[in-house]
Amino acid sequence: MSDSRGVRVFLEERHLRLADEVADFAAAEIAPLAPPATDDESREQAREILARLGAAGWCRHAVPAEDGTAVDLRACCLIREALAAASPLADSVFALQALGAMPISLAGADEQRRRWLPGVADGGLMAAFALTEPHAGSDVAGLRATAVRDGDEYELIGRKTYITNAGLADFYSLFAVTGTRPDGRPEISCFVVPADTEGLKFVRAQVLSAPHPLGELELDGCRVPASSRVGEEGEGYQLAFATLDRLRATVAAAACGMARRALDEALDHAREREQFGEPLAAFQMTQQKLARMATDLDAARLLTYRAAWEADAGDGRKVTRESAMAKAFATEAAQRIVDDAVQIHGGRGVLAESPVDLLYRAVRALRIYEGATEIQHLVIARELLR
């Protein structure tokens, strides 16, 4: 069962039902899977997880409804929170369905939406989001991959790095420079590129501390039809940030899921583990840690679901500040909570087989990807100073 205490004010009845359903699914279908020990295992398991998510209908929440209703971000947050508590890899699989499909959802032509979104929704197609490059992380204007127009085609040249599902995805929402703006900054456009496109090469896997299907791509004379461009030429910069802005609260939700799992593990261990003739839970220093963990988690969840609720309002309000606050606070809080859980477990907490050790290795990346904490603080300050 899910825990919707404190955030019910931001949820509707359908969300409460969904929260219970996805929690039951995660417990029955995802939690029993052994955490992958290697990159190869993570790639194999990612496909298995996608099939399970698709068969159960969860991936349909990653794309707009058939009637055109926008992606329900509160639903995405609830799904990511439940999946992240059960398996960081499962959370990543779902997250990339939403992230890779979002540019198409926001700006894709009807033909693009018909071709790609149904496959994302039923789990038949695995999506990826290819923005980051060796010289361009937080500074998107530093992109060097180019897309040169040649008649009815574009030729893509360059390299992408830190791409989740690289070498595994069926298509990539990929960003490249198509020209120069009057102010001298690069003009960026977005393209949907099928994985089997000639000239698109999977260069190598990049191994994270927690096994995860990450890697590098090379674009070497990769030619795509002009119809693969998502939106107008030059709209890629805004489209990338619109995508990240909309989904940032779901990263916070994943952090909450990992933190909730860590707190649950710490509570169980504190009750069961005896030291000096008493359970750890009897010691005030342990109680202080548990109290701080629970408080941080509640605050993170409130910020997360407030941001998602604001985004779902559909009245045109910008949620840049709310999403940045949620992402920055929740990911930093999750790091503290997981660290405290490891400390409460003592030596057991750093065994590779320990759930809190896996969380410790997995949670760290959340503070970096889709906008590092420092970038979120700059965004918040910018919004305050407008």
Does 118 share its domain with 135? no
Co-location of 208 and 95 in the same domain: no
pLDDT of residue 314: 75
Residue for token digits 């695995």? 126
Count the Cβ atoms, other than its own, within 10 Å of residue 95.
26
Q: Do 188 and 294 have their domain in common?
A: no
Residues 230 and 279 in one domain: no
Q: Residue 166 is part of a domain; what is its CATH number?
A: 2.40.110.10
| Whether residues 103 and 48 fall in one domain | yes
Is residue 177 assigned to a domain?
yes
CA triplet 52, 302, 259: central angle to 5 degrees?
Answer: 55
Please tell me whether residues 179 and 254 are part of one structural domain. Answer: no
* Predicted pLDDT of residue 316: 62
Question: Active-site residues: which are they?
Answer: 370
pTM: 0.95
Q: Which residues of 216-250 are buried (b: 16+ CB within 10 A; e: fewer)?
A: bbbbeebbbeeebbbbebebbbebbebbbbbbbbb
Q: Total domain count for the chain? A: 3
Residue 299's domain spans which residues?
238-384
Q: What is the CATH number of the domain that holds 40?
A: 1.10.540.10
| Structure confidence at residue 2 (pLDDT) | 62
Element (H, E) at 220: strand 214-225
pLDDT at 1: 44
Residue 193 lies in a domain: yes
Dist CA 218 CA 287 (whole Å): 51
352 belongs to a structural domain: yes
Q: Which amino acid is at 63?
A: V
Compute mean pLDDT per 10 residues along the chain, 386 residues long, and list them. 77 96 98 92 96 98 91 97 97 98 96 97 98 90 94 97 97 97 92 98 92 95 97 95 94 98 98 94 97 98 97 81 97 98 96 94 94 96 94
Distance CA 349, CA 344 (A): 8
